[in-house]
Structures are given as structure tokens and as C-alpha cells.
Amino acid sequence: DDDIAGQIVSFVRKGSLGSIVCTPLNRVVTRTREYPKIAGVKPLVDVISCPEWARSAVQQVFGKTVICSSLELCDEISQMHGLDSITLDGDKVSSRGTLTGGYQDPARFVRLQLAEQRRQAAARFEGLRPRLAEADAQALDVSERLKGLYAERQALQDGRSRQRTELAQAAEAAQEAEAQAVRHQETIGRHRERRAEIQSHIAECDAAIEAMEAEIKTKTLGELTSAENQRLQHVSEELAQLDAELEVVEERCHQLQRTFRGREQHLQDFLRKRLNELESELIRDSQVDYEEQLQRRTKAVSRLESEHGELRRSLEESKKQLGEMDMLLRSKKSEHDRFLTEDQQIQTKIAQGTGLLDEIAVKINSIVKKKNEADEKLRSLTVVSADMSRYKQMPAAQLIKELGKTNKDLGKFEHVNKKAIDQFTTFTDQLQELEQKRKEIDESRVAVEDFIKRVDEQKEQTLLQTLEQVDLHFREIFADLVRGGVGKLRMLQPEDAVDEETEGNGKTSGVRIEVSFTGQSTSFMTMSQLSGGQKTVVAIALVFAIQRLEPAPFYLFDEIDAALDTQYRTAVAKLVQRSAKNAQMVITTFRREIIEIADRFYRVYQKNRVSRIECVARDEARRVIEEQTRLEKIEG
């Protein structure tokens, strides 16, 4: 209901969670729709399964959408019935246009599968994390016991403070080990930088490969041969396999990095601390148990050397793996270059094929043109078959004599236009083309006129429906503002007048507002007959009626109660209070009624010629309003 929607909006605003629009179920007005009875068309609300209490909300959101079997049927339904339609492939057609593309099967994308495998590996790693915590707890327990034993030995060996020379040697060895560890850390840093550089190169290669794959998938490859398509498919499979191998190598690299960090942390947190403890113990050692201390130090040094060896071996392994990654990067680059070369070869073949096709088309056009000219010349000949046989039997001398005679006869007709027949044929063809174009233009004009007529009818119907809804809200709001009052909206027909002083001019004049502040049917008045305060009440009712049709999350009003008396100001304040449950209202006022229902109060004043704004309490706001009212009475 309205209270729950108000609580949701308040929670979202207090938490700065973004923007949200809530429509309470008690505000949803279910409208019965008549869907077209056409094969292949089914309303979307009949397909969606939902609880009965949410059926009205589903009808309001999806009631204007139908499912069609084809995109052409979607266009027809959208134009003829004004409904939004979608196909089973996901294409959508609405009054705003057509949106194609449809549903994309994620199984076609290898990277999505690899990402899913990576998430599964991360889940397995999270499953092994508790065992790692147990191992850390056991190590801490052993470390605590060792600390206790060393504390006991420290209590027994407080008087031993000799052998400082050996301590100095051990300190020098420790410093050398620290210097070597620092060098190793610098080497590790360089290797990390090298690894980051290699990873960036790999990412660039992957991006280039993806771009090439996207280019390969374009429609320009539709003219490739079957062999080239098979080769392209084989290359795509190799790319997918190389991407999978790259993911495995990256995962191994991340695992080595985690191992190295753990060992480095062990060196920093435990071994160095242990070394300092050994140094302090060497300071307090005596000559009596020097050999025992020496043995312990020797064991500690051997353990440190073994750990140092392990770190060195891990470093060597890291170097080896970095080398393998370098080799993999070089192989990727070679594959990339090979793909570029193959793509260039394919583009070259396509260009050559296109040029050859153009040449063949030019030759065909020229041959067809020559054939037409020869056919035209043959049609222009008027020699009958009998004359032709007679001419074939004549000797050459007689043929030459007949030809000369014929040429002499033709010389008498030199003034005649020899191209008259050709021009007549040309003009006849042009006339036929013009007649065909005129027919097409007439058909187009009829289609455009029919479309304009349908649009005008739909516009008129939509305008009438919108006016009916606004009129319903206007009647309710005006009845709330004016006790016993009645208001209504009416669209003026061509024979109506806009107001009492205007004559009808044969066209639609607009919308007329008729109100009665007494509720009597004989006392309806138009806007021109109302006073200033009454016009303000009507304007407020009309604004809120329109906004109820298309609610907004934020409203700003500037002294809407300035020209109203106490009764109307109180009614407007109640209306604003009810509307504030679903939207934010910001109102400037100098009247007390709005102050009584507001949640926050801000005072705007001027100090040192600079405008200032401060948040005040309700009592302070009342005092400012009363002071302003008192000053207005004095000035009046």
C-alpha cells in the first residue's frame, strides 16, 4: 500500500542507494485490454507465472506486450494495434522502433566458460583455506612452546656473558645474509616488474586476438570458400586452446607468487626474529657451554642455509617459469603475426576476387550492349526472304550495280531524319518509365495518406484516453480541494467554442475546464469567469491530476498558496501531505498551513548582500512567517 511504498522510498533516500519508483498495489488500476486474435500472437501476461496478489502489477507492466512468431508479424501488430511485441529470438518492436539482436547463447563464448572454471578454482581454494588456518594455528602453538623453552634456558644462563668475538663473527655473517636477502628481494622485485610487463603484453595480444576474431565474424567473410572457412574454424579452435593454456599458466604463476609471499613472510616474521634471539643469547653465553652453543648455532645456521637454499631454488623456479612465460609470450606473438599474415592474404584474395568480378561484369555489359545493337540493326532490315534468295543468285557485278542504284535512290531521302525510329523508340521507353514512376508515386502517396490517417486516428484515440484519465484525477483532486465542488475536463469539438467570447472556426479548439464551486449543475463556469484565487485552485488541481497520470519523484512549487484564503490553503496543504508519501516536495511559502505539515524547514535570507540558507526548527519557521504576516499588515 502507500505506507509501505513510502517506507521503501525513505529507506532508499536515507541510505543514498540511488533512485527507485514504487507503485503500490492499491494504486494500480487494471485496465482490460483486447488482444488481436491472430495465429502466432500471444499476450505476455498469459505466459508469466506469478501469485494472484501480484497479477495486477504484472498486467500493468507487461499488459501492453505480446509475443509473436516472426519479426514481420511484430511490425504488423505494432502498427495496427499499438502494442509492443517481441519474438521468440528476443527481437523487440515498439512505437519507438525495432530493436534486433535477440538472445545470445553464452555457450558460444569460450571466455565465459574459462571465467566459470576460474570461479570454480577460486571456490576450491576457499575450501582449502580452513586447512591452511589449522596449519597456521599448529605452527603458532609450536612457536609458543619454543618460546617457553627458550625463556627457561634464559633464566638458567643469566650469568654467561662471554665469547663476544664469536658473536661479532656471527653478527657479520648475519649482516651478510641480510644483505644477500635484500639483493634477493631486489631481484624478486625486478622479476615481478618483468612478470607485470609480460602479463600486459599477453593482455594486449589477447585483445588483438579478440579484435581479429570479431573482425573474422563480420559479414565481409561471407564470400570465403569452404576451405578458407574450415581453416578459419581451425584457427579459432587453436586460439581457444591457447587461451585455456594461458589461463593455466597464469594460475600457476599466481600460485608461485602466493608461495613466495608466504616464505618471505616466514623469513621476515620468524627467521629474523629468531636470529635476533640467537644474537642476544650469544651475548650472554659463557665459555663453559661454548661447544653446546656452537652446536646449536651450527644447527641454526644449517637450518637457515637450508631455508635459504629453498628460497634460492624457489627463486630459480620462478626464473624458470618466467622464462617459460617469455617463451609462451613469444609463441603468442608468432601466432598473432601468423594470424595477421593469413588475414592479409585472405583480404588480398577477396580484393582480387572482387576486382575480377568487376572486370567480368564490365565485359558482360559491353557484350550485351553489342548484342543489343546487332539485334537492333537486324530488326531495322526490311529484306524479305524471297529477295534474299534472289540476291544470293545474282553475280557480283549485278549486285554492285543494284547496290549503286539503291544508294542513288537513298540519296533522295537524305533530308529525312534517319534517327526518327530510334528516337521514337527511345521516347516511347521514356514515356513508359515515366508512367511507371507516376504509378509508383501515386501508390506511395496513397500509402502515405493512409498512414497519416491511421496516425491521426491513433493520436485522437490516445488523446481521448489520456484526457479521460486526467479528467478522473481532476474530479477527485478538485473535490478534495473544494468541499462540495465539481470539476471536469472536456475536449472541444469543431462546432464548440474555446470560451464564451470565441466563435468556432471549424477546427478542434482544445480542452475546456468547467468547474462549479457550489456543486450545482447549473453553476458551471469556465476559466475566464473565475477569480484569481479560484483560477489558482483549478490550476493546482490540474497540475496534480496530470502528475498522477505520470508521477515524478521530485516536485518544486513556488508560493502556490499566495493567492488563496485559509480554507483553500488548508486543503492544498493536506493534498501536498498526501502526495509527499510518494514523492519529494519542495515548496516556498509565506503561509502557516504549509509549515504545519512540512518535515524540514529552510530559511533563505540575505546577509552582507549575500544570500544564505540555513535549516531551522518548526517554531522558528512559524515565528518568521508570523513576522512576515505582521509586516505585510503594517505595509497594507
Averaged in consecutive runs of 10 residues, what is the pLDDT profile of the chain (636 residues)? 74 71 73 82 86 82 85 83 83 76 52 68 77 75 78 69 63 70 76 78 77 64 66 76 77 76 72 70 57 76 82 80 80 80 84 84 85 69 59 78 80 72 80 90 90 84 82 84 82 59 50 80 77 85 84 85 83 86 87 86 85 88 84 70
Structure confidence at residue 507 (pLDDT): 47
Indicate if 66 and 169 belong to the same structural domain: no
Q: Is residue 43 situated within a structural domain?
A: yes
Among 211, 245, 261, give the residue marking a domain's end. Answer: 211
Taking the C-alpha atoms of residue 93 and residue 505, their distance in angstroms, rounded to an integer, is 40
- 24 φ, ψ to 5°? -65, 150
C-alpha cell at 477: 483532486
DSSP-derived secondary structure letter, 583:
S
Indicate if 135 and 50 belong to the same structural domain: no
Query: By the 8 A CB rule, do 494 and 504 touch?
Result: yes
Indicate if 245 and 198 belong to the same structural domain: no
Q: Is residue 182 situated within a structural domain?
A: yes
Q: Is residue 256 situated within a structural domain?
A: yes
Structure confidence at residue 499 (pLDDT): 46
Indicate if 190 and 236 belong to the same structural domain: no
Nearest to 598 by CA among 614, 568, 582, 574: 574
Among 103, 125, 153, give the residue marking a domain's end. Answer: 103
539-576 as b/e: b if 16+ CB within 10 A = ebbbebbebbeeeeeebebeebbeebeeebbbbbbebb
Query: By the 8 A CB rule, do 307 and 180 touch?
Result: no
Indicate if 204 and 238 belong to the same structural domain: no
Taking the C-alpha atoms of residue 507 and residue 495, their distance in angstroms, rounded to an integer, is 8
C-alpha cell at 461: 484515440
Indicate if 234 and 355 belong to the same structural domain: yes
Taking the C-alpha atoms of residue 623 and residue 452, their distance in angstroms, rounded to an integer, is 61
Among 334, 362, 390, give the residue marking a domain's end. Answer: 362
Name the pairing type of β-strands 41-43 and 511-516. Answer: unpaired
Q: Is residue 267 situated within a structural domain?
A: yes
Indicate if 233 and 335 belong to the same structural domain: yes
Structure confidence at residue 585 (pLDDT): 87
DSSP conformation letters of 376-445: HHHHH----HHHHHHHHHS-HHHHHHHHHHHHHHHHTTTTS-TTHHHHHHHHHHHHHHHHHHHHHHHHHH
Query: By the 8 A CB rule, do 216 and 344 touch?
Result: no
What is the reported pTM?
A: 0.33
Indicate if 250 and 329 belong to the same structural domain: yes
> What's the start-to-end Cα distance of the chain, in Å?
48
Total of domains in the chain = 3
| Helix%, strand%, coil% for the chain, nearest 5 | 70, 10, 20
Q: Is residue 126 situated within a structural domain?
A: yes
Indicate if 235 and 277 belong to the same structural domain: yes
What residues make up the domain containing 263? 229-283+292-362
Q: Is residue 44 situated within a structural domain?
A: yes
Structure confidence at residue 113 (pLDDT): 64
Indicate if 255 and 322 belong to the same structural domain: yes
Provide the CATH number for the domain around residue 97. 3.30.70.1620
Tell me the one-letter amino acid at 299: K
Q: Is residue 307 situated within a structural domain?
A: yes
Indicate if 297 and 269 belong to the same structural domain: yes
Indicate if 154 and 170 belong to the same structural domain: yes
Q: Is residue 20 situated within a structural domain?
A: no
